[in-house]
Structure 1
């Protein structure tokens, strides 16, 4: 065979070798991708099991719940945190009702949750308990309307066929939600908010906060987004059933 023929035949095998190398790499990449997908799926399943377990524990302890709580465990890879027995962040969302029948939306933020024995403990907990203003108004009686005004509570009530409007600052004293009138009008005309009758009427609307779950203690109260929200916090919280 002459040199020209050898030169023409030499490159024929090279693309095949290249194709083999690329083919091998492709299968390695596919295999690696499959392993990552399986690991992610296992991680998701493990997180789901833990979330279900925590939800069951919360539900067993809180009889006021009106449905199953929604629990979310953050931290990826989850299995690594599970192996260590700690989770940096757990969120719990739930619906409940007070003894008076008022609907409550609860949002609890747990930090540094650890598995201890057969249960869980959280280093700290922060929570918000919100009651819609329209539900509070309905509980106050017919003709009462509640709304939010720059972080204050606006109370409107018909009196002698004309609107009496009182705007009150909402505060917290111990475990009692307090109200202090800051402005008032009757039929559009301003009134002295310090009027004894207005002050007494506002005082009657104050409410004591019932015992909160998980050992939470009230830390503040606010009016926003169509609801009154009680803020609470606690340390070293046990998530075991009572």
Structure 2
């Protein structure tokens, strides 16, 4: 052992200081990142609130709709004044117009706003009078409870369900760019005939007719084959026309679709103001 050796090497202490400084720098970067993300979400939430307020007025809703400004970070869209995709949803919307014969109570209304253009300062202040939207894709879903109620006005039906008719594959190729104005349906439910509950399954189509949905039934299957004489009556009772009124932003209905539990009516409109001027 060399005389005077203390067992310590002062040169080894310096890397520890550098390591500590490095850790502090990493922590500071992480904290800054968290704060920036939180600020970004806070700004987006403020913008969503203002759009929800305007959409409540524009769509004549009883409550604020759900609004989601998609895309991250929000601040980059805000700087450009161009919000690429805003999604709006409202559930359980009643539509009643006695003159037009419209009486629906449980609609789901949705809209995809593509490129909403408004300055951030105006958006946060709720001043969106100059805001415009390149394209709006609007939709309305008509659900089974409204179908049950409308069908009951003609013949007592119960527990009517809506499903796509997937029995046969489409023979001709479908161009996804071309809106579908007809769709195959399957309706299942119960009705009462002379005090007896009958279970039925009906197959047919829905068609887009003058902005409304027209149901046409081709075949009906009953759990009691001895009652086949009532099939024409049931087919007529289920030939219902459902008019949900205008789509969001007065988009023109161009397509219909059958989903599990609902009919969907959709359309597009281009170059529209965010609020009525």
Instruction: Report TM bin, short chain.
Output: 0.7 to 0.9
- Structure 2 partner of 1:143: 156
Number of equivalent positions: 236
SS of aligned partner of 1:236: strand
CA distance in 2, matches of 1:183, 1:49: 52
Structure 1 partner of 2:23:
26
Q: 2:89 aligns with which of 93, 100, 106?
A: 93
Q: Which runs of 5+ in 1 are unaligned?
A: none
In structure 2, relative to structure 1, the CA distance for the partners of 1:9 and 1:112 (3 Å cut) is farther
Q: Secondary structure at the match of 2:72?
A: coil
**1:102·1:136 contact (CA, 8 Å) conserved in 2?**
no
2:264: which partner in 1? Answer: 229
- For each residue in 1:23-43, what CA deviation from the matched residue of structure 2 results, as whole angstroms up to 9, or x when unmatched? 111111122112111111111
Q: Which stretch of the first structure deviates more once superposed, 224-233 or 34-43?
A: 224-233
Deviation string for 1:186-226 (max 9, x for gaps)?
5643969996x6665444x1133412231211122222221
Give unpaired runs (5+ residues) of structure 2: 97-102, 166-184
Shift of 1:149: 4.3
Match of 2:243 among 172, 196, 208: 208
Aligned positions of 1:142-181 closer than 5 A: 143-145=156-158, 146-151=160-165, 152-154=185-187, 156-160=190-194, 161=196, 163=198, 165=200, 166-181=202-217
Residue 133 (str. 1) matches residue 144 (str. 2): yes
- Give the equivalent residue in structure 2 for 1:45: 42
Supply the distance in 2 between the matched residues of 1:90 and 1:207 (Cα, whole angstroms). Answer: 28
Write the distance in 1 (CA, Å) between the matches of 2:228 and 2:273. Answer: 50
Larger Rg: 1
Aligned partner of 1:102 in structure 2 is 105
- Tell me which protein shows more helix as a share of its residues: 1
Given the two structures, how large is their TM-score scaled by the length of structure 1?
0.83
Aligned partner of 2:2 in structure 1 is 4
* Residues 206 and 135 of structure 1, relative CA distance in 2, 3 Å threshold: closer
Q: 1:71 aligns to what?
A: 67
Cα distance in 2 for partners of 1:5, 1:231 equals: 92
Q: 1:193 to 1:108 in 2, by over 3 A?
A: farther
Q: 1:157, CA displacement in angstroms?
A: 3.2
- Runs of 4 or more above 3 Å deviation: 3-6, 8-11, 159-166, 185-195, 197-203
